[in-house]
């Protein structure tokens, strides 16, 4: 690629960390336009931002891997023996096990009685864990031995606006009522 090509790739990479240039390099077509696929090696296809098709594809692949958050959620309950009227504290850890920051992060708790509490969280960097707490009061008129299920879900996007990996974004916990 040569000295200037390497410098250009580095500059484009640095530029791609900003929103304006990120949009330009992220929207590279999957293949060159048909009219340009047979061009000679001395006149390669260029994207609208001046990169060759191959350079833009490499940057896009890097961005897709580097800016890839993966949010997970884990929930624990403050006590194992729950009685009617008790306050249950759900301790929730939102983790980003991906390689890039997660933005527009939302955490939703679906309580056993059907009520929902939704929270908008701050951005979560790669490798970071955000702790949250939800409180639920067990109804007084609940029968002994009843199993209460609680579901917590987290969602977010990468810095390009794509939804993160959603295969591990929920956690179910159960508690059993003992009178």
Enter the pTM of the model.
0.67
Domains and CATH numbers, the chain: 2-66 (no CATH), 71-176 (2.60.40.10)
- Residue 46: what pLDDT? 56
Can you say whether the dihedral through the CA atoms of 57, 58, 60, 61 is positive or negative?
A: positive
- Residue 114: what pLDDT? 95
- Residue 57: what pLDDT? 80
> 157 near 164, Cβ under 8 Å?
yes
Q: Which parts of the chain register pLDDT below 50?
A: 1-29, 34-43
């Amino acid at each position: 690629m040569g000295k200037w090509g390497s410098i250009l790739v580095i500059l484009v990479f640095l530029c791609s960390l900003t929103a304006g240039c990120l949009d330009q390099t992220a929207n590279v077509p999957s293949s060159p336009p048909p009219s340009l696929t047979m061009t000679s090696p001395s006149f390669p296809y260029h994207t609208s931002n001046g990169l060759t098709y191959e350079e833009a594809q490499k940057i896009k692949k890097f961005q897709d891997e580097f800016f890839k958050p993966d949010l997970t959620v884990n929930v624990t309950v403050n006590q194992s023996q729950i009685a009617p009227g008790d306050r249950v504290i759900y301790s929730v850890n939102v983790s980003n096990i991906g390689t890039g920051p997660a933005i527009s992060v939302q955490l939703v708790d679906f309580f056993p009685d059907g009520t929902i509490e939704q929270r908008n969280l701050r951005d979560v960097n790669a490798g970071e864990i955000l702790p949250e707490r939800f409180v639920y009061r067990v109804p007084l008129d609940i029968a002994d031995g009843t199993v209460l299920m609680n579901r917590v879900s987290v969602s977010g996007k990468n810095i390009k606006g794509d939804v993160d990996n959603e295969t591990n974004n929920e956690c179910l916990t159960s508690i059993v009522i003992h009178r």
